[in-house]
Structure 1
Amino acid sequence: MAGRVLWPLTGFALAILLWALGVHGLEARTPIAAAFAPLPTLHALVDLITGRDIWVHTALSLQRVGVGLACAILFGVPLGLLIGMSGAFARASTPLFQLLRMVSPLSWMPLAVMVLGVGDAPVYFLLGFAAVWPVMLSTVAGVMQLDPNWMLLARSLSATKWETVWRLVLPGITAQILTGVRLAIGIIWIVLVPAEMLGVSAGLGYFILDTRDRLAYSELMAAIILIGVLGYALDYAARAAHARWLHARPSAPMRPD
């Protein structure tokens, strides 16, 4: 138990030491680098988390993460089911989806603003576009790994397509979908900050730009650390949900009633 705590603390301590040494080395030729040092950043972080403004920005960012993730699930799961269950659809769509998946979501920023205007809409689009691929691919992988005997059982019970998907396929691939959701959360959180530089008036990305414009560099570093902590918390929650599902799921996805 002690080792599980000691090793991470050692890693953080070494990272902070390297951080302090790096800032010290830069101070001679860039005096402003002193504002990025660990101690001023710690003071700024305490001021941030005890204030109200940063939590308003955080709440808006988390709302955008939720909407972007919901869009990714809404599109990614059905597409994954279609690809996994329809050979014709898979052959027709896979090359297109692979091409689109390789385009950085941030490449769409100018087009998103032109089509959707300035505000939350282009941010939702970029987050959803970035997150849909891991959800879709995880869904496809889950469908491909299903036991073929389950499908034979469904056909022998004269189950309709909808009943097969709803009562057999989806319960059988929920663990894979949750894996895709976890990956999607990490991608969304990375894309969120640059996406929030699209003219919105609040959010963690906007706050980063605001600290830069105010030359509040210690506050900027504190915001970066806070973003990392929040992202870690989101990933931890996703991992916990995934582990809970694996522990609690039933042994078979469908019973012949």
Structure 2
Amino acid sequence: MTGRAAVAAHARIVAAPGGALPVLAGDGPLAVRRTRADDPSFSQVTLVGAMSAPLGGDRIELTVELLPGAALRVTSAAATIALPGRDPVPARYRITLRVGAGAVLHWMPEPLISAAGSELRQLTRVELAPTARLLLRESVVLGRADEEPGRLASRLTVVRDGRPLLDQELRCGPDAPGWDGGAVLDGNRAVGQLLVVDPALDGQQAAPRLLGEGAVCAPLAGPATLTSAVAPDALALHRALANA
């Protein structure tokens, strides 16, 4: 358990066409750094942990806005580890992603690790223009090596053109009913998803398909597909999502 006091912090990224990043600001546990993208048509920002976070009581907020026509890839330098802290109340991490007309966002952070004794409530909200495109990967590892996970509630809400496209929540750890049963993780300790939203998919409602053991790709009610996967560890999970 860390001895530092709880913190409140807000980081903000604004991307514009032509690779410009007119706003790149972070404080507290979130540092944001411009890094080199493999694809020169994208600008790239890497999230760097400046201190251990999120801890009990922390209030962390990240806002990413893509102006019309921008292309941005967001990664992280390492996994995010939710840890217990001095404050007994849950940590809260709010992520807001706004993608303007004709813009493209690749949201590809490293996994979130829910350490024993921690309690985190994470909310990710995505707001898409009708012609925006999105590639979003989320992955969670429940507990570090040989430990049980903390309490985790992670919700993903995606709105396209003002209408709901996806709204789901995962609760794991102590007091979360059935999270480790056969209908949810079935003994696995890594869970993730890959969401693709692309106007080019409009009208192409393919049937759901298996991508191997523990992974399935399904169309959504819109120009989007969602791949969901469970695996024994983070490496196997990323392999499953990469196959999508």
Whether these two folds match at TM > 0.5 is no
CA radius of gyration, larger in: 1
Q: Please identify which structure carries the higher helix content.
A: 1
What TM-score, normalized by structure 2, do the two folds share?
0.25
Q: Which has the higher contact order (CA 8 A, sep 6+)?
A: 1
